[in-house]
Amino acid sequence: MSVSTLGVHGSVGEVFPTAVFRDALADAGPSVRVVSDGDDLTPCDALVTFAYEERFLDAGLDWIHSIQAGVDRFPFDELSDREIALTNSTGIHGDVVGETAVGMMLAFARRLHVHRSNQERGEWRKPAWDDAFPLRRESACVVGLGTLGRGIATRASALGMDVTGVKRTPTPVDGVDRVHPPADLHEAVADAGFVALAVPLNDDTEGMISAAELAAMREDAYLINVARGPVVDQAALVDALESGAIAGAGLDVFEAEPLPADSPLWDREEVIVTPHAAGINDEYYERVATIVRENLRRLSAGESLTNRVV
């Protein structure tokens, strides 16, 4: 497989400027062109994209690269049938997603989200004496210990938190005191002040946090979701928040995105909502370009692609 023309789909502009990304690959070897909705894709041998379109299947592409780690929107079987390789951008977000997740923990512990809301209302209001607490005496259970989960765990550990985790293969992980298998999920979350989700979305993880798991958590615990929205039963989460079964939630992902304007999650003080932005940073395009460059090199050398999913 060789690539003479690499397309950059216009949808990457939702994350970083297409022209900036195109220019970052200008000397990578193949011709690089930006393609928008409706543009002819047949001149392209490969495509870098954020979105998925059905027409990709019949455009004569040999390789598609997703700028995200999650590729659940792509039809694996159809791509395989057409011998179209699919790669993703896993491995590049551990630091920034870890910072986002632990940042939410810090916000809840130090009541920063409440202070910001008070500022917007022009209110000078100190928290109750027992509202704020230090993270060093708290515990975090990180569900999923891949790149994202390890990024959360190492940062939580650095702040003095006791960190446990849940991993399909419960082998030791740096910064994690104890690793549980998925079968012990209820036990793992039961003692944690924060439960942080960092699993990919698949048949095993869809709906893995439902009413039963939320009931297993402490009443003063917070759920942090930087994984995928459908990993959590959102209706059950709303019920748990409204009933006081858990203290709050920091949510970067949702079942429906954008989060509908009528969602009750918007109006709860103990919920932090961010717009699926945990991985966004000013180095994002460079990190993706590094993977694309490496795979272009591998293709030229006849080597297997890195981060290959299909």
Q: Show which residues are catalytic.
A: 228, 257, 276
Q: What share of the chain is helix, strand, coil (3-state, %, to 5)?
A: 35, 15, 45
Alpha-carbon span 256 to 268, nearest angstrom: 18
Number of other residues whose CB lies within 10 A of the CB of residue 261:
6
| 109 vs 103: CA distance, rounded Å | 10
Query: Exposed/middle/buried for 273, CB within 10 Å: 0-12, 13-18, 19+?
Result: middle
CA 136, 141, 143, 147: dihedral to nearest 10 degrees? 30
User: Is the backbone of residue 94 left (phi > 0), alpha (psi -120 to 50) or beta?
Assistant: alpha
Secondary structure (3-state) at 276? coil
